[in-house]
Chains A and B, each alone.
Chain A
Amino acid sequence: MPGAVPPYRRVQRHRPLWMLAPGAVLTILVVVVPLVVALHISLLDLDQYSFRQWVRAPFVGLANYTEAVRASGTVHAIVLSTSYAAIVTVVTLPIGVAAALATQDRFRGRGLVRSIFLVPYVLPAFVVGTVWRIILQPDGVANGLLARLGLDGGLWLNGPRSFWALVVVQIWASWPLLYLLALAGLQAVDPVLHEAAALDGAGWWTKLRYVIFPHLRGPVSLAVIIAFLHNINNFTLPFVLFGVPSPRDVEVLPVLTYVESFQNFRFGLSAAMAVLSLVLIAVPLAAYLRAVRLDVGPDGAAEGSRP
């Protein structure tokens, strides 16, 4: 690593590393220690009776994990979480890219449109959940509009359709993230490429397909990973939209973990589920950390990541 450090950084004494201390102390106390505690609790038979003396709760080894995988709804929740996050990400991708393409061209009112596009993303998730809960109630405005089109709305907040309600609302709330990241990627495309494409007489689709999209691949694939991580960790939206206990079809892993802790007081089991949720995000997280540009020297050269 020293080889990558720009010269002005090399001769430094008195590095004020203590400035990192407040963040380090907080992170150790509120993140690292709790993580260790979570691992420990996941090996205990901890419930509301043993809670006050949690250190002395009986040690049960991996029993919580086997119960989580075999008996409780964990596997169901993992499948649900993964498919919901994947569907939302796959659907928001083309929407976000299309919106970025459409707002990159200059036109009157573009600033206003860009502001409006970010509103769903800026609204707090608990507000989005509250609003859509009212929109999707059985006689609500969504079914009212569907009925006018001659469609039978039915139940959205209960039963098998609740899964799709969650997917639709999360798509509505989260597509601006992909839009933003795609727009940032689009604005980094060298204008010379536009001119080259124009000189070649390329049509708009040819230009998109062979000139623009290849340049978007990097930023957009990173955006896809970020969006997937956002979606799969989302607790607030399903929690507020459906309440607890939630319908089985939307019992995603964060909600199930929460219910197992703070409704059923099966703390050991819940901790095991929480640890499993870490396994769930491990692959996309590793991909993200590999792909993102970690560090940039003042000369613009990247350090610590693949070029």
Chain B
Amino acid sequence: MTVRESAPTRGAAGPAPRPGGRGTATSGRGTVTRLLPAPLRVLVLGVLLVVVLAPVLYMLFASVSSDLSVAEGAFLPTSLDLGNYLRIWSTVELGRGLVNSLLVAGAVAAVCAFVALGSAYVLVRYAFRGRLAILRGLLALQSIPGTLMLLPVFVLFASAAQLLGVPVIGTRWALFVTYLTFALPFSTWVMVTYLRGLPPELDEAARVDGASAWQVLTRVILPLSWPGLVVAGIFALLLGWNDVLFASVLTNPDSRTAAVALQVFGATQEGGAIPVYGQMMAAALVCAAPVVVLYLVFQRYLISGLTAGGVK
């Protein structure tokens, strides 16, 4: 559970002994490493847990409540109506949205992880001019505002469609290419930090035996890299799953992702009598569930990725 357990992916910091870990001299350790007095700790944890959990619980409550009670500001559910979870499939067109999200984000995740592995392998194991510039670029690219890229990407896709005579905007391919590109820098960075944790002697030996770089990558590095690939892939998947900016412009009603479907549904509720709050909450929960489940399952690996850009 601790961040430190994922040490192999964080090659930058040495494996510091875990405070209070099992060992011989641990009897006194627990108190020695204590940072906050117990009452203060309980206070901090209590306040934060309430602040975090209240909206999350409310999400659950409101998704089974009547729209009227949500509109009146009741916190606890007044009824237990699971019908919202059935209605959203026709009203929000959530099914199609989820399929589109899954197809695009899933393909991005798979391709991105392997492209990132190849790039990271070269960046970690070989010396060449411009290597540091690329590493720096990987970090810089993550900070480029999406709104800066949106218009020119839209213009270029429109021009490409004119040139090629096939539709580009509105297809899932347009989203796939866009997300793949924007996911690559971070996924590559994750793989770079992961591969740094693998001992170079492994591929060194294979290379001495005459294996080509491609053979080393596919037969030696790849089998050892699954934890890193999973993290790199999940972050690429999340980028596609969570994006609203590009999807709102590059999709049509048929290729809409779940994120845009939900946003459009929410926006169309404005000005009506009582918005269908319950359905919005239910749909939001359904969109969030895969992400939260993924995170819970792969938590210990993902945390290393979340902190990968913050190593000093």
Q: Is the CB of A119 within 8 A of B132?
A: no
- The 4 tightest CB contacts between A and B, nearest first, are A144-B73, A34-B152, A16-B213, A19-B118
Secondary structure dominating the interface of A = helix
**Can you give 5 contacting A-B residue pairs, CB < 8 Å?**
A15-B122, A122-B295, A124-B291, A141-B62, A144-B75
Q: Which residue of B lies closest to A254 (CB)?
A: B147
Given A126-B242, A278-B144: 11 more A-B contacts, CB < 8 Å? A31-B144, A34-B149, A54-B155, A105-B34, A106-B30, A141-B70, A236-B245, A239-B245, A243-B267, A254-B146, A254-B147
Residue of B51, B131, B204, B244 near A8 (CB, 8 A) is: B204
Contacts of B299 in A (CB 8 A): 115, 118
Q: Is the CB of B73 within 8 A of A37?
A: no
Interface residue? A277 (CB, 8 A):
yes
Interface residue? A149 (CB, 8 A):
no
Q: Is the CB of B188 within 8 A of A23?
A: yes
Q: Is the CB of B62 within 8 A of A38?
A: no
Q: Which residue of B lies closest to A190 (CB)?
A: B16
Contacts of A298 in B (CB 8 A): 196, 199-200
CB within 8 Å for A117 and B48 given contacts A8-B204, A15-B126, A111-B1: yes
Interface residue? B220 (CB, 8 A):
no
Number of A-B residue pairs at CB separation under 8 A: 362
Minimum Cβ distance to chain A for residue B176 (Å) = 11
Q: Is the CB of A293 within 8 A of B311?
A: yes
Interface residue? A132 (CB, 8 A):
yes
Contacts of A120 in B (CB 8 A): 52, 55-56
Q: Which residue of B lies closest to A274 (CB)?
A: B148
Interface residue? A102 (CB, 8 A):
yes
Q: Is the CB of A98 within 8 A of B177?
A: no
Interface residue? A125 (CB, 8 A):
yes
Secondary structure dominating the interface of B = helix
Give the distance in Å from the alpha carbon of A273 to the alpha carbon of B309 in the complex: 28
The stretch from A65-73, A159-167, A215-223 touching chain B is A215-223
Q: Which residue of B lies closest to A2 (CB)?
A: B127
- B 24-63 to A, binary, CB cutoff 8 A, 1 in contact else 0: 0000011111111100110011001101110110110010
Q: Is the CB of B310 within 8 A of A130?
A: no
Interface residue? B227 (CB, 8 A):
no
Interface residue? B287 (CB, 8 A):
yes
Q: Is the CB of B312 within 8 A of A218?
A: yes
Interface residue? B180 (CB, 8 A):
yes
Q: Is the CB of A204 within 8 A of B281?
A: no
Minimum Cβ distance to chain B for residue A207 (Å) = 8
Residue of B36, B56, B156, B248 near A101 (CB, 8 A) is: B36
Which chain A residues in 94-142 approach chain B with CB under 8 Å?
95, 98-99, 101-107, 110-111, 113-127, 129-135, 137, 139-142
Give the distance in Å from the alpha carbon of A261 to the alpha carbon of B122 in the complex: 39
Contacts of B45 in A (CB 8 A): 99, 102-103, 113
Interface residue? A152 (CB, 8 A):
no
- B 136-159 to A, binary, CB cutoff 8 A, 1 in contact else 0: 100111011111111111111011
Minimum Cβ distance to chain A for residue B54 (Å) = 9
Q: Is the CB of A33 within 8 A of B156?
A: yes
Which chain B residues in 117-133 approach chain A with CB under 8 Å?
118-119, 121-123, 125-129, 131-132
Interface residue? A250 (CB, 8 A):
no
Interface residue? B230 (CB, 8 A):
no
Contacts of B214 in A (CB 8 A): 16
